[in-house]
């Protein structure tokens, strides 16, 4: 039985729309797109040649050359975002406190950049015996949390979660329970991903899952729009500090929002396709509301999974409508229209967007919404951010394998 309230006291972000949480939020509200041509490798042979890349990120300067070169790019993102969140929260420095702080960071794929580079190097030189001694420590999915723990001396629960595109939200749920159950006084949590590489892009291209709107990249990610043709892959990290409410209050911490509850479910349907009837999503949504002890009418805003895929957007819209009612007034937007689909980091980036919607009473828009889809009939906050009171908000994340994870955030009362 959870007895402790959990609040958010720090935010950190590395994204296609800026490498800090304030910059990310400012550009989301402005409706800017972070999508452009792929620059990190030659994508000319692929059907999709666009992505939402993190820009102006120099790990040698941000982390230090020696340490940065022992981290995969996804760990670098997580480390820098965590550092910002820790500074924002102004966490105590004493040993007793740090013994009760942990980290759970989600990632869908982990060190795929390292996997690609080391495999290519060994294939080219024909000598697999010269694989880097840092290959495994850089590749492993738990590397991000390990680096955060070692750098800051956090000795609480430390691990990683991998459940495809629901990874960050599932990590958030895990971290929430550690604090709510008294196993930690604070947790670093969120998600990180860095998979814009030939291997990952090639795999998604052959699945025909991504948009091929290469000549108009900023318009390519268009969730819930009738002309959508697939997702745009993104990258980055979103990390926040969860803290026990009474502890945060006692030290006078700034509090952005409270974690009210969560819901998780499985589609039990298909390894990559969503249940077209949205049964699993409906279960996760209903469990989230029950966990938070709120009714559909209490919710003002939903940050949708909204990937811009023909099947996924329809299933999510209909699942929301099934639970909230055909005439629901709840506002729903997908910030993936701006920062792309960051896979295992999606819930981290979108968690920040949802938390800030509650804190700032502003609903970020779904940009590129031009042609209504008769199968998607909700209020998608089209193209322009909206000022409105947001007391309760949901953040949806769904992943390959049928993973569904919904987090409920609300104002502190």
Catalytic residues: 165, 305, 341
Between CA 114 and CA 200 the distance in angstroms is 12
Please count the residues of the chain: 413
| Tokens representing residue 189 in the block | 């949590």
As a whole number of angstroms, the distance between CA 401 and CA 390 comes to 32
Q: Shortest CA distance to 317 belongs to which of 366, 265, 278?
A: 278
Contact (Cβ atoms closer than 8 angstroms) between residue 224 and residue 313: yes
Task: State whether the Cα torsion 99-101-106-110 is positive or negative.
Answer: negative
Using CA atoms, how far apart are residues 137 and 3, in angstroms rounded to an integer?
37
Chain centroid offset of residue 308 CA: 16
Instruction: List beta partners, residue 237.
Output: 14, 192
Spatial distance between the Cα atoms of 252 and 44, rounded to a whole number of angstroms: 53
Parallel, antiparallel or unpaired: strands 36-37 and 101-106: unpaired
Q: What is the DSSP string of 29-48?
A: HTT----EE--SS--TTSS-
Chain centroid offset of residue 221 CA: 16
Positions of E strands within 68-207 = 101-106, 158-161, 186-193
């Amino acid at each position: 039985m959870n007895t402790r309230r959990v609040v958010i006291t720090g935010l950190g972000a590395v994204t296609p729309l800026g490498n800090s949480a304030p910059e990310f939020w400012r550009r989301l509200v402005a409706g800017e797109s972070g999508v452009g041509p792929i620059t990190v490798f030659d994508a000319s042979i692929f059907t999709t040649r666009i992505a939402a890349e993190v820009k102006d990120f120099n790990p040698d300067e941000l982390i230090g050359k020696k340490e940065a070169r022992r981290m995969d790019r996804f760990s670098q993102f997580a480390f820098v975002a965590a550092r910002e969140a820790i500074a924002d929260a102004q966490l105590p420095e004493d040993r007793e406190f740090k013994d009760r702080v942990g980290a759970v960071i989600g990632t869908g794929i982990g060190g795929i950049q390292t996997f690609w580079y080391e495999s290519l190097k060994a294939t080219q030189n024909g000598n697999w015996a010269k694989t880097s001694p840092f290959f495994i420590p850089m590749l492993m999915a738990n590397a991000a949390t390990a680096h955060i723990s070692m750098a800051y001396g956090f000795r609480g629960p430390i691990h990683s979660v991998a459940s495809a595109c629901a990874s960050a939200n599932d990590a958030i749920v895990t971290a929430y329970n550690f604090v709510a159950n008294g196993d930690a006084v604070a947790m670093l949590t969120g998600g990180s991903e860095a998979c814009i590489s030939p291997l990952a892009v090639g795999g998604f291209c052959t699945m025909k899952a991504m948009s091929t709107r290469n000549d108009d990249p900023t318009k390519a990610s268009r969730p819930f729009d009738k002309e959508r043709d697939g997702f745009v892959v993104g990258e980055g990290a979103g990390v926040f500090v969860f803290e026990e409410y009474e502890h945060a209050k006692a030290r006078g911490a700034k509090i952005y929002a409270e974690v009210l509850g969560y819901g998780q479910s499985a589609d039990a349907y298909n390894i990559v396709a969503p249940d077209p009837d949205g049964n699993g999503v409906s279960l996760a949504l209903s469990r989230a509301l029950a966990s938070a002890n709120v009714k559909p009418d209490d919710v003002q805003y939903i940050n949708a999974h909204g990937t811009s895929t023909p099947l996924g957007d329809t299933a999510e819209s209909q699942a929301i409508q099934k639970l909230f009612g055909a005439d629901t007034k709840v506002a729903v937007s997908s910030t993936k229209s701006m920062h792309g689909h960051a896979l295992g980091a999606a819930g981290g980036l979108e968690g920040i967007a949802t938390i800030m919607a509650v804190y700032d009473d502003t609903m970020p828009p779904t940009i590129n919404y031009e042609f209504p889809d008769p199968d998607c009939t909700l209020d998608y906050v089209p193209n322009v951010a909206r000022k409105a009171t947001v007391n309760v908000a949901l953040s949806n994340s769904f992943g390959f394998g049928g993973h569904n994870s919904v987090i409920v955030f609300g104002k502190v009362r």
